[in-house]
Amino acid sequence: MRYLLYVSIFLLLFSCASPYKKLEKTVGDLSCVQQFRPVFTTAMYNAQVDVVGNHISGILLLKTMPDSSIRLVFSAKTGLKFFDFGFTRDSGFKVYYILRQMDKQPFITALRKDFELILLEHTAADKGYLLTGPGLHYYAFPQEKGVNYYITDPACHQLIRIEKSSRRKVIVEAIMEQYSNGLPDTIGISHKNFNFTIALKRLENNAAR
Amino acid sequence: MSKVIWLFSFVFIVIAGKAQYTGYKPLADAGSFKEQFARASLQTNSIKSDFVQEKNLSLLSEKMISKGKFWFKKEALLRMEYIEPFQYLMIINNSNVLIRDGQKENRVNTKSSKLFRQINDIMVDCVKGSALANPDFTVRVFDGKQAFLVELSPVAKNVKEYFRTILVTVDKKDYTANSIEMNEQSGDNTVIHFINKELNVNIPDALFAIR
């Protein structure tokens, strides 16, 4: 029985160990991840959002404004606007509009952090560091809470995945794949601590360009 | 929340109560219009049409255009199939609604939700021509050169929260809807233009089947 207790404690400690603990800190050019920052004047994505048993689909429009801030508008396919968020270059965030039923602070905060992750906000090279592991480079950028990791191949040519991590575990995993003209064709965001996923597939934008 | 989300996935929202509309003047004899409208509606058993949907984001000066096909059959069968730039299907079969989005399907019985039923009625009424009698709205009619403009302002609080007005342009030739403009409280609007309309063509019931 006593051994069982020891084993349990050991397993608990082991399972709580940071997945980044075995990585080695090294020197490298942190600005290389900036090539994965989505670049657009306007972009439109088919969006599927699943949040704790609810499915929401719609169109996500991203637009770079003249002051270089980014607006992100999510609407139903039949037209009704769900929300309209703004991200400024100085890390500011503004809710321009959100439907009353969605106006819940935890939901807004989760969306804000998720989109900051894929827009490569808070990735100043002087605030980050580089870790290396087997066949992968982890470009790490400490946040107010936790760390955002942009994980690439050793040559920093390909973005393998993105992770938002607490001290002990990955809490959000994201992918951005099949870049074309500075924009990923596919974006996926998956929360590990609760059932919340966002899947984006780029649409040919036939809006006014 | 689930019901609300699905409602928003097919709801069309409305606009600002303008006092005047360019090219239109208040109709002096609304009674005559209603009479002719009702008579024409009686003669329209089905409508087949293409549509172009224009979503206008007022603050961003952006438009999102989508296109698809539309079928309506009396009394309350409606199918809207978005074809580009995405695929999305909505079928209304009396009190049942089916939404197919990619691999996902959702079925709703509007009897279980007052707001769902109201939205359902709005959509069918706008097409069928019975919107003038819908008690959920106050109605004003304006006269233009080639079309009438019907302004629907929501009365019910739960509808008013999302819809400011719905503007339906009605073709003077056949009294069918040329466009439906839905104006949101946020200032954005969505306009659906019906083109290549065919009236009273044979449309199989299978198109509206919700299995």
Residues of A in contact with B85 (CB under 8 A): 44, 203-206
Cβ atoms B96, B76 nearer than 8 A: no
ipTM score: 0.78
CATH, residue A52: 2.50.20
Range of the domain at A185: 19-203
Residues of A in contact with B3 (CB under 8 A): none
Residue A192 lies in a domain: yes
Residue A71 lies in a domain: yes
Nearest to A82 among B8, B90, B190 (CB): B8
**Interatomic CA distance for residues B108 and A37, integer angstroms:** 40
Q: What is the pTM of this model?
A: 0.83
Please report the pLDDT score of residue B29 as a whole number: 80
What are the extents of the domains in chain B? 2-208
Residue of B131, B143, B139 lying closest to B172 (CA atoms): B143
Nearest to A46 among B12, B62, B86 (CB): B86
Does the beta carbon of A208 lie under 8 angstroms from any beta carbon of chain B?
Answer: yes
Check B66 against A54: CB less than 8 A apart. Answer: no
Residues of B in contact with A42 (CB under 8 A): 62
**Interatomic CA distance for residues A51 and A70, integer angstroms:** 24
Give DSSP secondary structure letters for chain A.
-HHHHHHHHHHHHHHHS-TTTT-EEE---GGGGGGGS---SEEEEEEEEEETTEEEEEEEEEEE-TTS-EEEEEE-TTS-EEEEEEE-TTS-EEEEEE-GGG--HHHHHHHHHHHHHHTT-S--GGG-EEEEETTEEEEEEE-SSSEEEEEE-TTS-SEEEEEEE-SSSEEEEEEEEEEETTEEEEEEEEESSSSEEEEEEEE---S--
- The domain tally of chain A equals 1
Please report the pLDDT score of residue A205 as a whole number: 60
Q: Give me the residues of chain A with pLDDT under 50, please.
A: 7, 9-15, 207-209
Residue A198 lies in a domain: yes
Q: How far is B5 from chain A (nearest CA, A)?
A: 6
Can you identify the CATH homologous superfamily of domain B2-208? Lipoprotein localisation LolA/LolB/LppX (2.50.20.10)
Please state the φ and ψ torsions of residue B28, each to the nearest 5 degrees: -70, -45
Q: Give me the residues of chain B with pLDDT under 50, please.
A: 1-18
Check B104 against A54: CB less than 8 A apart. Answer: no
Q: How far is B128 from chain A (nearest CA, A)?
A: 19
Nearest to B186 among A59, A61, A81 (CB): A81
Does the beta carbon of A108 lie under 8 angstroms from any beta carbon of chain B?
Answer: no
Please report the pLDDT score of residue A12 as a whole number: 47
Check A76 against B8: CB less than 8 A apart. Answer: yes
